[in-house]
Structure 1
Amino acid sequence: MKKIGVLTSGGDSPGMNAAVRAVVRKAIFHDIEVFGIFGGYTGLINGNIKKLELGSVGDIIHRGGTMLYSARCEEFKTAEGQSKGIEQLEQLGIEGLVVIGGDGSYRGAMALTEQGYPCVGVPGTIDNDISGTQYTIGFDTALNTVIDAIDKIRDTATSHERTFIIEVMGRDAGDIALWAGLAGGAETILIPEVGYDMNEIAARLQKGLERGKKHSVIIVAEGVCSGVEFAKQVEAATNFETRVSVLGHMQRGGSPTAFDRVLASRLGAKAVELLMANNGGRAVGIENNQLVDHTFADIFAGQHRVDLEMYHLSQELSI
């Protein structure tokens, strides 16, 4: 393989740039030309493609976001859109593609592979919701961003003796809420994978008040309900005064942590190795600190599962 492409797709995550850098430099080290596709699958369809050199990825390892930009592309879900993308690849002689993103990005990569263009997926999403890997690129950085916010909010919660509801990202997966809640000492954590009992939560808050506790922090994953909606439920059940903080897209930003930079570098390089071995149609990941790869079919057949032992531990420690 003499020419490969790389794109980032879907929601951005800190560490994507480090992964792009690894793909480019690993490939060039092995005398393979690399083409950056700007704007995800939309950029592929529109031919927004540029050859990348060593200097193209200089000074990006520490930057959040993605230098290749990202977008969601409904057109690429269609056969016509995929044909347009393939035509662009054929014109430039690109023989394989590294796709950095989440579930939707992987589905596009699988579609291309099935049509003769081998693709390798690299898991880039703050939600940590891709099967076949323990950690996704950006999760650790987002987690630390949330923990920093929890620490700051707890200061003001203590000062004003209030119950704070903090809404974090996680439409289908509760990893951010769970990990940040446990690390931040939250009194209650709500995740999509586990239902909640408002009466039990109210009783826990009341018990804390009776033993002299003046404030509480509750973490709510957006997939459960909005922070504002849950605050209304708390006030109705307890008469406690609440305040709501929705962290939103700040969770996606910021300089990636050392863990995410190293993870992205390892996974990006591994993706190039798979393409060099003509082993497309796979996604890379990490399990027990060892790099692994699985077929896209296995990734979609599997299901990311939240660590329920951690969830139960958080309940035990928040008494």
Structure 2
Amino acid sequence: MEDLARQLVVVADEADDIIDFHVVNQLRERSQYKTRHMASLSSFRQDIDKIIKKIDSITEKLMMVKEEPVDVQEQQPSIVSVPVSSTALPSSDKNTMVGFDELLLQVVDELTRDESNLQILPIVGMGGIGKTTLAQNAFDHPYIVNRFDKRIWFTISQQYSVREILLKYFFKDEKDFGTDQLGVAELGVRLHKLLCGERYLIIIDDIWSVKAWEDFMLYLPNNENGSRILVTTRLLDVARSLRFDNHYFKVNFLDEDKSWDLLCEKAFAQKSCPYPELEEIGRKIARCCRGLPLAIIVIGGLLAKSKDKR
């Protein structure tokens, strides 16, 4: 997945260079003959068509990536944990929710319902589809901030160690005295005490197995006060196993209009293209991303940098 994302960056850079070259030619040829201008435009379209084919190929590979967990016994742990403060999350300018407004409201509504039992809400979808962005927006939503006493974000990933995740959460400095003596049980008890009696929201992002879920659930108290756990996963079987009623939210691909809106939002900071002569090509690029937000955001972000430079 990361290698394919890097390939997208390279292709987007190529598109950026082609567009820059075309803009320079446009300025140079304004006073030239129309036939020369048309030849330049034809060449530009051919170059862009080549870029579109590359984007289409990479996006197709992204969509074919197998969403199956690896054998964690043979891998080294890869752990990230994010502390309570929402400022530790990506800033809002990197957190665009084009196309997911209605789904966000549904998630917030589910999290704030007047049910006292501890509720688990899974969000499922392929990598790059926007699960984490949806969870981040829910995490920072004013209703959520006002409702919950404590909000904590953990990212699990395929390879994980509950002990290391909790150590990173409780101790900002890994050299803190005595941390090497703390076992997972002691850290789990510390988390349990922190949450006991509080109305809390826990985000467990990018979970790949039921076992990872069970390892964390040991330390999350049911305070009977409306606490919630929001889980994101790529695996439908994992999402279904977290609730007896099989209730979960699925993040789907963006349609063509939403894809175009997102590309414009990332490239131009608005939901329309300020350069009419580029709209047709821009829409082609958006379509070739096949509704996958990751691809659209990578390309739109690079186009935005190009626009800022000019």
Which has the greater radius of gyration?
Answer: 2
| TM-score class normalised by the smaller sequence | 0.3 to 0.5
**TM superposition score normalised by structure 1:** 0.33
**Whose helix fraction is larger, Structure 1's or Structure 2's?**
2
**Whose strand fraction is larger, Structure 1's or Structure 2's?**
1
